[in-house]
Amino acid sequence: MEHCLLLDLKEDPALIDAYEAHHRAVWPEVQAHLKAHGVLGMRIYRLGTRLCMVMDTDDQHHDPAAMAAEALASPRLREWEALMGRFQQATPWTVPGTKWTPATRIFDFSGLNPPSEPG
């Protein structure tokens, strides 16, 4: 399944540069965590301070709640999330207490993939 999620970065060119640098060298533990939880691919795009993450998952092995629980239990993953939190901020539409916010697909040119519910 394809997921499209949005998040903002703090408006500071130095922080944005650092955020991008961290994503050119994502920690192996983070990559292993994604793979272990059915993430088949992930791409992050940036326009100004807005980020768009497109994540492809294997629905048989992707459980967002289990993925989040394991991340909270791992000191290394908590360290990554704390580091990323220095650069990130919620969009104006983000539910308090969350970070990445699902976008709703409103158009699909291919016609092969019907619109799905966010999440």
pLDDT digits (tens, 9 = 90+) for 66-86: 999 999 999 999 999 999 999
Question: Residues 98-103: what's their mean pLDDT?
Answer: 94
Mean pLDDT confidence for 4-18: 98
Instruction: Judge whether residue 119 has pLDDT over 60.
Output: no
Q: Name the residue with higher pLDDT: 119 or 59.
A: 59
Q: Which CATH superfamily is domain 2-94 in?
A: Dimeric alpha+beta barrel. (3.30.70.1090)
The pLDDT assigned to 20 comes to 98
Domain boundaries, the chain: 2-94
| Number of separate helices (H) and strands (E) present in the chain | 4, 5
Q: What confidence score (pLDDT) does residue 108 get?
A: 87
Q: What is the CB neighbour count within 10 angstroms for residue 100?
A: 18
* pTM reported for the whole predicted model: 0.86
pLDDT band for position 58 (50/70/90)? very high
The pLDDT, as a whole number, for residue 118 is: 60
Q: What is the mean pLDDT of residues 28-56?
A: 97
71-97: string of b/e by CB count within 10 Å (b at 16+)? beeeeebeebeeebeebbebeeeeeee
